[in-house]
Amino acid sequence: MDAHEQANPRAVIAVLREDARLTILPAGLCWDGRDEITPDYEEGLGLLGDWRCVPVRANRHPAVAHYLRRWGESQYRAFSLVVLGIQEGAISEITTIAEPGLFAAFGLADTA
């Protein structure tokens, strides 16, 4: 979460397993393996604005609620929920659900 908030793609990549998978729903996008995921983080992590991350749990998995403050805006707004799979102390799966409307089901506010 710290690496994401600091827009530090190398720190995010460092905690990924080599066989990690990144999925973005509902868009249906998927990257398999650290080598495929790396360019996505290197090119896009700070592209939209600043991030605020809030830890949550989803289906008994660690998860993160991502709030985004777009460039030029003053408020962080609900953006996506990210469910993490962890194996042997590293991230094996990142499932990003880009549905801000789901925040209420987790008891989360629309803004942070």
Nearest to 4 by CA among 88, 96, 86, 87: 96
pTM of the model: 0.91
Residue by residue, pLDDT tens for the chain (112 residues) are 999 999 999 999 999 999 999 999 999 999 999 999 999 888 888 888 999 999 999 999 999 999 999 999 999 999 999 999 999 999 999 999 999 999 999 999 999 8
Domain ranges of the chain: 2-106
Helix (H) or strand (E) holding 23: strand 16-25
Q: Would you tell me which CATH number, out of the four given (3.10.450.50, 3.60.9.10, 3.30.70.270, 3.30.479.30), belongs to the domain 2-106?
A: 3.10.450.50
